[in-house]
Amino acid sequence: RSGRPQYLEVRNLRVVFDGFTAVDGVNLDVTQGDLRFLIGPNGAGKTTIIDAMTGLVPATGSVNHTGIEILGRKVHQIAKLGVGRTFQTASVFENLSVLQNLDIAAGARRRPLELLRRGRGTDPAVDEALEIIGLERLASKQAGTLAHGQKQWLEIGMLLVQNSELLLLDEPIAGMSQDERAQTGELLRRIGANRITLVIEHDMDFVREYATSVTVLAAGKVLSEGSVAQVQADPRVQEVYLGT
Ligand code: ADP
């Protein structure tokens, strides 16, 4: 973690599905500490960008994570390079406890020898993640019985114990209560302070409150970029959102 700040540099990213161009030459620059929100109408290509960056769909162009090209690598290799992603529906192991979920995620990081030496549940990174996501008191609770918001936080915790430095979050507050949204916003601020964070979000109140910068996507292209105030004042953005 020492040395120069980490960065994400996406250049001319392109994804074509059966002749349909879903992502059409996207450039993106996000630096460490930036809480960048990716917004835009349905079908703009937001999820596809994250899918391309995590190796789930083939793409052309370049995705550079702090000097390492990640495009063209396999899903697990990209995860090992510190790229962590959440989905709209949290994918936790429902039958296992909160602690076991974090331990499995940590196991993906540890080398086999380290696993042999260390007993389970004694990983300081797991304890730290439990505290950050605020689930210490629910550590032994079965993940399947958690509230919706808590599951999302557990999924984020799983990225933290995997040492993810670049976080790609797909609508992390979807379906959450107002309290859970605020808690998630504070969580993103805390973990985003020393990471690169790119968040897909529809809720503009949330974006206004927590974004340090915004990229507006429409029809597979970057339409506007800057602070929330800057993109809201952009006539091209108003046109896409209001049809004026
Ligand atoms: P957003 O996340 O901004 O709502 P998506 O990235 O999900 O948009 O989708 C962008 C476009 O690509 C949409 O028109 C969608 O229908 C299309 N698309 C997404 N995934 C596929 C796929 N696997 N096959 C074909 N078309 C797809």
Atom of ligand 1 nearest to the CA of 20: 26
Report the pLDDT value the prediction gives residue 64, as an integer from 0 to 100: 97
Please check whether residue 227 lies inside any domain of the structure.
yes
* Binding site membership of 44 for ligand 1 (Cβ less than 6 Å): yes
Q: What is each CA distance from 213 to 31, 61, 70, 167, 180, in whole angstroms? A: 11, 23, 23, 15, 22
Between the CA of 241 and the centroid of ligand 1 the distance, in Å, is 19
Query: Could you give the C-alpha distances from 111 to 74, 84, 100, 108, 214, in angstroms and in order?
Result: 19, 18, 18, 8, 37
CA of 49, closest atom in ligand 1: 6
Which of ligand 1's atoms lies nearest the C-alpha of 200? 2
Task: For residue 2, tell me if it sits in a domain.
Answer: no
CATH of the domain at 151: 3.40.50.300
Ligand 1 pocket residue status of 43, Cβ below 6 Å: yes
* 141 inside domain: yes
**75: β partners:** none
pLDDT digit string, tens, across residues 51-91 = 999 999 999 999 999 999 999 999 999 999 999 999 877 78
Count CA within 13 A, CB hemisphere, residue 155.
Answer: 27
Q: Is residue 11 part of a domain?
A: yes
Give the mean model confidence (pLDDT) for residues 146-152: 93
CA 129 to centroid of chain Cα atoms: 16
What residues make up the domain containing 152?
7-242
Stated pTM of the model: 0.92
What is the ipTM metric for this complex? 0.97
pLDDT at 154: 96
Q: To test the ligand 1 pocket, which listed residue (17, 18, 21, 88) has its Cβ within 8 A of the most ligand atoms? A: 17
Q: How far is the CA of 232 from the centre of ligand 1 (A)?
A: 25
Within-domain flag for 1: no
Task: Pick the atom of ligand 1 nearest to 42's CA.
Answer: 4
- Whether 22 is in the pocket of ligand 1, judged by its Cβ within 6 Å, is yes
Count of domains observed in the chain: 1
Residue 118 lies in a domain: yes
Å from CA of 73 to ligand 1 middle: 21
Ligand 1 atom closest to 17 (CA): 25
Tell me, yes or no, whether 164 lies in a domain.
yes
- As a whole number, mean pLDDT of residues 162-183 equals 94
Mean pLDDT of 25-31: 97
Q: How far is the CA of 45 from the centre of ligand 1 (A)?
A: 6
Is the confidence at residue 121, as pLDDT, over 70? no
Q: Positive or negative CA dihedral for 10, 36, 105, 150? A: negative
Report residue 58 as tokens.
Answer: 């083939």
The Cα–Cα gap between 16 and 23 comes to: 7
Residues 196-243: pLDDT tens digits?
A: 999 999 999 999 999 999 999 999 999 999 999 999 999 999 888 766
* pLDDT above 70 coverage of the chain, percent: 91
- The whole-angstrom separation of Cα 105 and Cα 126 is 9
Which residue's CA lies nearest to atom 12 of ligand 1? 22
Predicted local distance difference test score (pLDDT) of residue 115:
54
Q: Is residue 214 part of a domain?
A: yes
